[in-house]
Amino acid sequence: MRSFLKSEVQRYNSHQVRSTTRKIRNIRFVKVWKEGNSLFRKFALPKPYTSPQDVFCLRTTRIVNGYRRISLYNHTIDVPNVPLREDVEVHLIPDEPMQLMHIRVWWDESMVHAVSLPLLGFSVQFSGFPYMTCLFLIFGSFYNWDLYKKSIDRGLYRAY
């Protein structure tokens, strides 16, 4: 199957003539790339970020409490040098091979704290619809789908 898929991709990109432009895709792509008209651009980190992990991560916000700490999924994290009651942006970077969650706390366009915690127990909650909330565990035990279906049957959640 894999060799068939590779040969089909090769045929599609290198031999098949596109109906709208009457050109072969690879030849057209190489020509556009050499002319500099391609939509592909080099990746550049937006300021103030210092790592691609700050761009490609899970994000949330928290408010610094009176003890200069934030609470994140039953973990208390110290946040030094941030005024009380200020919003901070928290970047969550899961590291599955090491079983760690790297947490980077940003405030006022600078990273003020970084810590790594065990991955077990971290979860992300998505609520796209007003009556349905789904809980997805990132890298812990997987959410029990049968329990979720039973809760829909009982009317605890509304399925769309």
Residue-wise pLDDT for 120-130, tens only, equals 877 755 444 33
Domain of 13, in residue numbers = 2-35
**31 pLDDT higher than 80:** yes
Is 43 a domain residue? no
Contacts of 120 (CB under 8 A, 6+ apart): 99, 139, 140
* 92 and 138 belong to one structural domain: no
At 33, is the pLDDT very low, low, confident or very high (cuts 50, 70, 90)?
A: confident
* 98 and 140 belong to one structural domain: no
Instruction: Dump pLDDT digits (tens) for 40-69.
Output: 778 888 999 988 999 999 999 999 999 999
Tokens of 76: 């208390």
Q: Specify which residues 93 forms β-bridges with.
A: 102
Q: What is the pLDDT of residue 137?
A: 36
Phi (first) and psi of residue 4, to 5 degrees: -65, -45
Instruction: Dump pLDDT digits (tens) for 5-15.
Output: 989 989 998 99
Number of domains the chain is built from? 3
Phi (first) and psi of residue 103, to 5 degrees: -115, 125
Contact 99, 120 (CB under 8 A): yes
Give mean pLDDT, residues 94-115: 93
Pick the more confident residue, 148 or 117: 117
